[in-house]
Amino acid sequence: MDFLVQGFIQALRLLLAGDKEVYSIAFLTLKVSGLATLVSLLLGVPMGLYLAVSRFRGREFLVGGVNAGMGLPPTVVGLWVALFFWRRGPLGFLGLMYTPTAMVIAQTIIATPLVAGLTMSAVQQLSPKLRLQILALGASPLQFWWLIIKEVRLGILAAVMAGFGRVIAEVGASMAVGGNVRWYSRVLTTSIVLEVNKGNFSLALALSFVLLLITYSITYLLTVLQQRRRQA
């Protein structure tokens, strides 16, 4: 019990006293996971819409891939991205190994299937008649997609929350391609691992409270948006 109370108090102290390192770590965490979520939104939503509406040979195969990808283990993604970005890897010339950019790329790969999969199932829950009706009313392709997106807003918001929650919580990929470099690529999850290894349990606990606080605040903001729309 002592540990929990101590950790909580230390978390408050770190936040209120404006501990420079904790703030920079928290900020980088938000930056990396926020960017990854945004990119996965831009990639995953069109992918999900297309897969939901289209019919083509091999579609099932792709849908299966997306659904399996929703459970991609971050460590596996980290390993693959690392192999590509190593100095002697195919993309080594970019010099991205052990950078926040590499972390964003890895996290995007983790989140995109989740966003695409949830978007797809949201669209598929719409009545097929709706699509026909929109088309029958003479919508242009652009208008058609925009109306569909409007209809599945709730589902897309759920996808954003799930994607963000997944990448801000992952540690394997960030450790592998970011390297947990102090002041540079250290995020909340990797610093928690480090502090546990150092035996600083109360600091690790404090950082975990910071992580939970951030995750909850962002998700709460998204939830408010989602639920307000429901009542409207």
For binding to other proteins (CB under 8 A), which residues are involved?
20, 24-25, 27-28, 30-31, 34-35, 37-38, 41, 86-88, 92, 95, 97-98, 150, 153, 157, 160, 179-185, 194, 196-199, 201, 221-222, 225, 228-229, 232
CB 87 → other proteins: shortest distance, Å?
5
Is the separation of the CB atoms in 115 and 36 below 8 Å?
Answer: no
CB 31 → other proteins: shortest distance, Å?
3
Give burial (CB, 10 Å; 0-12/13-18/19+) of 64: exposed
CB 28 → other proteins: shortest distance, Å?
5
Tokens 């919508």: give the residue: 139
Nearer to other proteins among residue 55 and residue 228 (C-beta): 228
Four-residue CA torsion sign, 163, 166, 170, 176: negative
Nearer to other proteins among residue 66 and residue 160 (C-beta): 160
Nearer to other proteins among residue 37 and residue 112 (C-beta): 37
Q: Which residues contact 174 (CB under 8 A, 6 or more apart)?
A: 32, 74, 78, 103, 106, 107, 180, 185, 187, 189, 190
CB 166 → other proteins: shortest distance, Å?
16
H-type alpha helices, 70-187? 74-85, 100-125, 128-136, 141-151, 153-169, 172-178
Could you give the CA distance from residue 132 to residue 144 in angstroms, rounded to a whole number? 10
Nearer to other proteins among residue 50 and residue 98 (C-beta): 98
CB 11 → other proteins: shortest distance, Å?
19
CB 126 → other proteins: shortest distance, Å?
15
Q: How big is the CA angle at 140 (ends 139 and 144), to the nearest 5 degrees? A: 65
Nearer to other proteins among residue 22 and residue 66 (C-beta): 22
Nearer to other proteins among residue 24 and residue 75 (C-beta): 24
